């Protein structure tokens, strides 16, 4: 099942890479100097509050929207959300919940 991914991170004051370069490094499993550690537990708790229908496994959260679903994975530097047939209204709620922690959203599909 093909998904639509969005990455979130928090930039520090001395970040030297562009957003596409940051995304590439994070997706390759690299640490990026200059990113601020995320409050991952608080972000996940906020997503769970916004989307009460969910299952949490080690390292992943599967949430259900009105229709469709999303999968959240994370590290201490970023959160990745992969949406599967999730309506725009639910995607916006999800993005707003994560951005409320001063994270920026990056859409890797738009950088190609």
Predicted confidence (pLDDT) per residue in 25-63, tens digit: 999 999 999 999 999 999 999 999 999 999 998 889 999
4-111 has CATH 3.10.20.340 classification: no
pLDDT average, residue stretch 8-30 = 92
* Per-residue pLDDT band at 1 (split at 50, 70, 90): very low
Residue burial 3-34, b: 16+ Cβ < 10 Å; e: rest:
eebbbbbbbeeebeeebeebbebbeeeeebee
State whether the Cα torsion 103-53-71-69 is positive or negative.
negative
Is it the case that residue 70 has pLDDT exceeding 80?
yes
Residue-wise pLDDT for 48-57, tens only, equals 999 999 999 8
């Amino acid at each position: 099942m093909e998904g639509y991914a969005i990455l979130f991170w928090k930039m520090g004051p001395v970040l030297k890479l562009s957003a596409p370069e940051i995304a590439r490094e994070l997706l390759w499993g690299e640490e990026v100097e200059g990113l601020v550690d995320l409050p991952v537990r608080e972000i996940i708790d906020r997503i769970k509050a916004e989307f009460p229908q969910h299952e949490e496994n080690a390292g992943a959260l599967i949430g259900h929207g009105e229709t469709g679903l999303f999968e959240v994975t994370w590290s201490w530097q970023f959160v990745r959300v992969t949406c599967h047939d999730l309506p725009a209204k639910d995607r916006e709620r999800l993005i707003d919940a994560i951005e409320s922690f001063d994270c920026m959203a990056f859409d890797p599909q738009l950088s190609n």
